[in-house]
Amino acid sequence: MMIYLDNAATSFPKPNTVLRAMNDFLERAGGNPGRSGHRLSIEAGRIVYDVRETLAELFRARDPLRVIFTLNATHAINLVLRGILRAGDRVVTTSIEHNAVMRPLRALERAGVQLVIVPCARDGTLDLEAMRRTLTRGTRLVVVNHASNVIGTILPIAEMARLAHDVGALVLVDAAQTAGVVPIDIEAMQIDLLAFTGHKGLYGPPGVGGLVIGENVDVAMIEPLMRGGTGSHSEFEEQPDDLPDKFESGTPNGVGIAGLGAGVRFVLERGVDAIRAHEVELTRALIAGLGEIPGVIVHGTRDAELQTATVSFTVTHRRVSEIGLRLDEEFGVLCRVGLHCAPAAHRTIGTFPEGTVRFAPSVFTTRDDIRAAVDAVRRIVQG
């Protein structure tokens, strides 16, 4: 028996349609999209564009050409941070960010960018009044995760975006934990830049993600992270300004993009609202079940409606590494332990440097899986 509860890192299993789409791409359309005029290149280019349209539909973006493919959310975040911020600029973020945000920001801070961090509460929630006080005129960019990868707390993106726009700042949202599992409408939520990855809630393969650039963002202000061949304007040795080519140098991961497209279609067919309802039910059961075990501390809001299906816990006087190892070896429960690449978040919730045990179910997880996982924790703690 295996119960996979590490979907906040990478979703598993993948829908069969994802596997078929990737195999089909390699068998039927393995050409280089946009680089040649023969039938395989044209078919590959059609698949890539179709996936742009599918992603635009998911995120309610009007122009598919403003969907930029990257390796993952980290790549997309770096593209924005490195492309926009310069010495002397002011950037605001929160105290529960992933290292995909914090590491490039710390490097930019050393290069002269002013970094301001708004503290969150121990449950990951954010005081909007504190954010309002922090957002002064001259702030260039606000960078926030949509939901914590450690405790799942969902931040009020639309409200923060309004505050940021009031002072002329752009908003970059890290949606690695929410794309596909929480409804996202970039226009309604006033998101300027949305970074996402394919291998989590979108059920695609690793190695593909993207950036959605809002209609109101002037792409001339963003310098490319890389420059090179795009298949367009090949007579020039300067990077083209056209989208998406400005930010997509080199041969794209066509097979990964094909798999991502199938994953997004799976999400759209299921319905994000239905996926969200299923995960809320599982999260509620996890929080309740773990909370009944003496010695177990569930971190975060402990309210399934206020977080994603990411539940972190610790056990009094027990190492998280021991809990995770025994869950795997004795009960077949696969989860993640430690700091989850987010030391700032663990400092905020009081679990640094030990970290937490993190359970993260998915659309394929059942109530029986949750009951078995909770029972396994109970037996380890009480045994």
Residues with active-site annotation: 341
Check if the beta carbon of residue 32 is closer than 8 Å to that of residue 44.
Answer: yes
CA 266/CA 274 separation, integer angstroms: 12
Check if the beta carbon of residue 246 is closer than 8 Å to that of residue 219.
Answer: yes
Residue with tokens 């059920």: 203
Burial class of residue 65 (count of CB atoms within 10 Å of its CB; 0-12, 13-18, 19+):
middle
Check if the beta carbon of residue 338 is closer than 8 Å to that of residue 353.
Answer: no
DSSP 120: P
CA 311/CA 100 separation, integer angstroms: 20
What is the dihedral sign for C-alpha 165, 60, 151, 210? Answer: negative
| Region for residue 306 given its phi and psi (left: phi exceeds 0; alpha: psi -120 to 50; beta: otherwise) | alpha
172-183 CB burial, b ≥16 within 10 A, e <16: bbbbbbbbbbbb
CA 268/CA 364 separation, integer angstroms: 15
Count of CB atoms situated within 10 Å of the CB of 133: 11
CA distances 111 to 87, 101, 134, Å, are 6, 16, 22
3-class secondary-structure state, position 190: coil
CA distances 220 to 3, 194, 213, Å, are 47, 17, 12
Residue with tokens 């009480």: 382
